[in-house]
Amino acid sequence: MNRLEFSSRSFDAVVVVNGRLPNADFFQQLADLPLVAADGAANALVGMGIVPEFVVGDLDSVTEETVEATHGISELVHITEQETTDFEKSLRFAEDQLWKHILVLGMHGGELEHTLNNWSILTRISQRLNITALDEQRYALPITTSFAGTFAPNEMVSIIPQPSTVLTTRGLEWELSNEELAMGLREGARNRALQGDVEIVVHQGAFLLFCDARFPLVPIFRQ
């Protein structure tokens, strides 16, 4: 069984989507990491006095003011095809740079369908990259494999099926025993770790695991 560890190594890069973002002070902790803005997210960053290293997408949302503010600093990566969103373009750009551990900010906020679409993209691309979404001091991790890990006693642990999964858990307040979770049927939000050690056996399917953030620690699965 894999072991979920929060490694002391840093993320390889940060992808910022045009949603709810941490305050400007948080970005000071990211100064040593490549910062990729998904199209219109560059406007929000520049508005906070932050200039991304890369702006990726079809660039239809980047304002002239942002282009002027980032001129000579940011690399504009113009990808014209319309089959993918700017978020997916940015993750694929990160993959092309051989960055493996990606922190995503701004997943949530704005139009509901935009948020839901972002989660679908994250789940799909996470089959190739180690992607962690951070929002309001919580990590979201796409999970497809069984694992054991250590959480803080009484830490809130949520399991959201994507779109369905069959699980057995050990170490949670409300245990599952070869039980199905499925969108529109049953979810596993706001469970609790008991003494810290948690084991989740994935019999089939996938889910999003929500837990407290350990930034700057990177969640890594080891055999």
pLDDT-derived band at 52 (thresholds 50, 70, 90) equals very high
What are the pLDDT digits (tens) for 167-195? Answer: 999 999 999 999 999 999 999 999 999 98
CATH number at residue 91: 3.40.50.10240
Say if residue 87 is in the same domain as residue 168. Answer: no
End-of-domain residue from the set 138, 173, 190: 138
Task: Assign 3-class secondary structure to the chain.
Answer: CEEEEEECCCCCEEEECCCCCCCHHHHHHHCCCCEEEECCHHHHHHHCCCCCCEEEECCCCCCHHHHHHHCCCCEEEECCCCCCCHHHHHHHHHHHCCCCEEEEECCCCCCHHHHHHHHHHHHHHCCCCEEEEEECCEEEEEECCCEEEECCCCCEEEEEEEEEEEEEEECECCCCCCEEEECCCECEEEEEECCCEEEEEEEEEEEEEEEECCCCCEEEEEC
Tally the domains of the chain.
2
Statement to judge: residues 60 and 169 lie in one domain: no
Judgement on whether residues 134 and 145 belong to the same structural domain of the protein: no
Domain shared by 122 and 48, yes or no: yes
User: Among 135, 46, 121, 50, which Cα is nearest to 91's?
Assistant: 121
147 and 123 assigned to the same domain: no
Model pLDDT, residue 118:
93
User: How confident is residue 111, by pLDDT bands cut at 50, 70 and 90?
Assistant: confident
- 223: pLDDT confidence band, cut at 50, 70 and 90? confident
Q: Are residues 114 and 147 in the same domain?
A: no
Q: What is the mean pLDDT of residues 22-51?
A: 95
Same domain, 202 and 109: no
pLDDT of 110 strictly over 90: no
**Mean pLDDT, residues 114-124 taken together:** 92
Domain final residue pick, 77, 108, 138: 138
Same domain, 101 and 169: no
Backbone region of residue 154 per phi and psi (left: phi > 0; alpha: psi in -120 to 50; beta: other values):
left
Q: Which amino acid is at 221?
A: F
Of the three residues 82, 111, 138, the one that is the final residue of a domain is 138
Does residue 213 share a domain with residue 162?
A: yes
* 103/170 same-domain check: no
Determine the structural domain holding residue 150 and report its residue range.
141-222
